Amino acid sequence: MDIRTLACFVAVAEDLHFRRAAERMNLTQPALSQRIRALEGEVGADLFERDRRGVALTPAGAAFLGPAREAVRHASMAKAEPLRAVRGEVGRLRLGFTPIAFYGVLPEAVQAFRIRHPQVKVDLIEMSSPKVEAALASGDIDLGVLHPPVSRDLILYALPDEPFVLALPATHRLAEQAVIRVADLAHEPLLIAPRSIGPSIYDRVIALFTAEGISPRIVQEVTLMTTLVGLVAAGTGLGFVTSSIGRATRPGVAYRPVLPPPPSLPIAAAWHKPTLSASGGRFLEVVRVLVEQGEFARAAS
């Protein structure tokens, strides 16, 4: 009892006309009639009454119509699901991201993706940028949002950089200035992320001080920027954070631009060669639209 034959039965039952049903099923009338006779033999009962006046369902045919329709409908759905999975419309997206990346417009992108593709389950996995690289290489995630440069063979889609601002205690004397010069930070206690998790940014921040003839007084290395802000509130020191972190205001902390400008933090979507998963491609489409609309730039401003 194949699905094609059941679909032929449904067509005849709905049209009550063998020729029209045959045209609908793209079959010759004899071929359609042969399928119906074979189905009746398999069911063990006549499904149609045929006479010169036309075609009508028998009681057995009327009882069989509902289950046949359901079988055809479920078969059509089953056939469509693999194609939807190939197109990234169903399934799962494993998205790895750094804590800093999720302070920008990434939550908006995830929300827009979930609205557009509600049948794709999104797994959000927070990790450091090097761990995002490793997870992409091992296949543990489909798509990552990290901070270049990268040490692995990945494909990158650049997102707008995150500018840095200086976080300092609101009661600090420098908080009275609208803009703080790097030269003003001589001898100030500096909080900074360890070089092991961001060597490029670390070296560029140090170079910013060196160019001004200053040797920065690093009092503590802090892995998370949110922790750094907490330490600033506690009066431990001053430190650079992204502008998106700065928008999440915290009592006792002020944020000021610095001249010369500190390095901005690069952000990119990344995936492992050779291809991006279908669900990852769908998510990247949402991200690209937001970038074109300037949402990432506004989030970073």
Domain end position, chosen among 67, 86, 105: 86
Rg of the chain (C-alpha set): 32
Q: Which residue range forms the structural domain that includes residue 295?
A: 91-160+266-300
Task: Determine the pLDDT at residue 79.
Answer: 65
Q: How many residues does the chain have?
A: 301
Write down the pLDDT at residue 101: 83
What pLDDT is recorded for position 249? Answer: 78
CATH, residue 196: 3.40.190.10
Q: Please identify every stretch of the chain with a pLDDT value under 50, giving residue numbers as ranges.
A: 300
Quick one: 287 and 145 in the same domain?
yes
pLDDT value at residue 189? 97
Pair (144, 277) in one structural domain: yes
Closest CA to 224 of 239, 209, 207: 239
- Examine the domain organization and report whether 129 and 244 are in the same domain: no
Tokens of 171: 């009661």
Stated pTM of the model: 0.65
**Which of 86, 107, 138 finishes a domain?**
86
Q: Are 71 and 136 contained in the same domain?
A: no
Q: What is the pLDDT of residue 125?
A: 94
Domain tally, the chain: 3
Residues 6 or more apart whose CB falls under 8 angstroms from that of 124 comprise 95, 97, 110
Distance CA 189, CA 26 (A): 81
**pLDDT tens-digit series, residues 191-241:** 999 988 878 889 989 999 999 999 999 999 998 888 999 999 999 999 999
Give the C-alpha separation, 190 to 168, whole Å: 10
One domain for residues 110 and 194: no
pLDDT of 91: 82
Grouping H, G, I as helix, E, B as strand and the rest as coil, residue 58 is: coil
The C-alpha atoms of residue 9 and residue 32 are separated, in whole angstroms, by: 9
CATH number, residue 72: 1.10.10.10
45 and 178 fall within a common domain? no
